[in-house]
A and B are shown apart, each in its own frame.
Chain A
Amino acid sequence: MEHTAEHTHEGHAGGGVKEIVRVTVILSVLTIVELALGFWMMGMPLESTMRMAVKGSIIILMLAKAFYIVGYFMHLKHEIKNLIMTIVVPLALFVWFIIAFLYDGNSFRNLRNTYDPHFKEQSTIKVEKKEEKHGEAKHGEEKKEAGHEEAKPAEKKAE
């Protein structure tokens, strides 16, 4: 806030090279922490609360990175408040956008799991890893097509 007031008259004043170095260090540290969390998460059981908590922290770190890139590298923090508002306020739509759509996706899954026994059953059948490679030979292509036919009817019925 003070920054905006301070630099209003100068227009494009930023912190200079010192600030750039500081933000670079912050971004690198945030990325390293994210990666460390990612590595740590690998050993955790699926759908565990801990795993969800780590995912949540990664998202918070992601938003912090976004803040530093937009605020300092893109210089938005040093612009006039009116300009900041015309950019940031429309982006608030994302709050609704994300909540509404993810909630909808989740609800669709729950509905299908409740009322579509086939869909539920399909997600419990373990399969062998398909061996299909692109660009090996035409024979491989045919095999791939055949593999698809097996998988397709299941998907269709689920819908």
Chain B
Amino acid sequence: MSSTTVTSTKMWSGGKSPFNVEYGKLMMWYFLMSDAFTFGAFLISYGTIRFSTNGWPDPNEVFRSFPFAPEGVHAPLVFVSIMTFILIISSVTMVLAVHAGHNMDKKGVVKNLIWTIIGGIAFLSCQAWEWTHLFHEGAWWGSNPFLNHDGTASSTNFTNYFFTITGFHGFHVFSGVIINIIMLIMTLMDKFEKRGHYLMIEKAGLYWHFVDLVWVFVFTCFYLI
């Protein structure tokens, strides 16, 4: 502990980088913090409305479909757990890409980035399927075919919040995939090799992990509880 205090006084006396990270990475952290507040505001608004309403639809009734499943077969939680695992695994491949970047291992970066991009696209495809399916069931902004848990009429708040928040998250995944594709192209063009470091991959990685982090919260708030 004492060594930490000594270092921190020295850190601020000038001539050193007190946070010991690159400028862009620090700013990425601050951007993600602001983004966390945006998502937090969305989710808390959802929670407030849910708390102020007497009934709410049962997520296990609403999200029980599965692609290619025969009519009448209901599998609550199954499809969304696959989506969750896809995102976790793509986060892992992103860490591996960052790790390979540390070791200046271009091949490892390329391989893991491609896996991350595939994971992101897979997640987006799952979400596109789910949205289409819900739309065909009659759910959309301003239209809610589902009933409350106890069989009473439900307001459109449920679908409005669901589509807005998962849509906002899906848009983040989409931009994350675009960023990762750009990183892949830059790696293939040897940009980072020439720079002598793969710090850009780390910044893209932070963004990608944040997307995974937000999904942890969205998944819990909409599908589980």
Q: Which residues of A contact B (CB under 8 A)?
A: 1, 4-5, 8, 11-12, 14, 16-17, 20, 24, 27-28, 31, 34-35, 37-39, 42, 46, 55, 58-59, 62, 65-66, 69-70, 73-75, 79-83, 86-87, 90-91, 93-94, 97-98, 101-102, 104-106, 108-109, 112-113, 119-120, 122-127, 129-135, 144, 148, 151, 154-155
A9, closest chain B residue (CB): B7
B33 within 8 A of A: yes
Beyond A42-B60, A97-B40, whether A134 also contacts B51 by CB under 8 A is no
Q: With an 8 A cutoff between CB atoms, is B140 at the interface?
A: yes
Whether the pair B26, A83 counts as a contact (CB closer than 8 A) is yes
Q: Is the interface of A mostly helix, strand, loop or mixed?
A: helix
* Residues of chain A lying within 8 A (CB to CB) of residue B186: none
Q: How many A-B residue pairs have CB under 8 A?
A: 180
A128 shortest CB reach to chain B, Å: 9
Stretch of B65-73, B92-100, B113-121, B169-177 that contacts chain A: B92-100
Given the interface pairs A24-B88, A42-B60, the reply to whether A35 lies near B81 with Cβ below 8 Å is yes
Q: Bound complex: CA of A26 vs CA of B146, how far in Å?
A: 35
Known: A91-B33, A134-B135. A127 touches B151 (CB 8 A): yes
- B19 on the A face (CB < 8 A): yes
A-B contact pairs, 26 of them (CB 8 A): A4-B4, A5-B3, A8-B7, A14-B99, A20-B96, A42-B60, A46-B150, A62-B216, A62-B217, A73-B94, A73-B212, A74-B206, A80-B20, A87-B30, A91-B33, A102-B44, A102-B51, A123-B54, A123-B152, A127-B147, A127-B152, A127-B153, A129-B147, A130-B138, A134-B136, A144-B138
Partner of A133, one of B44, B45, B136, B148: B136
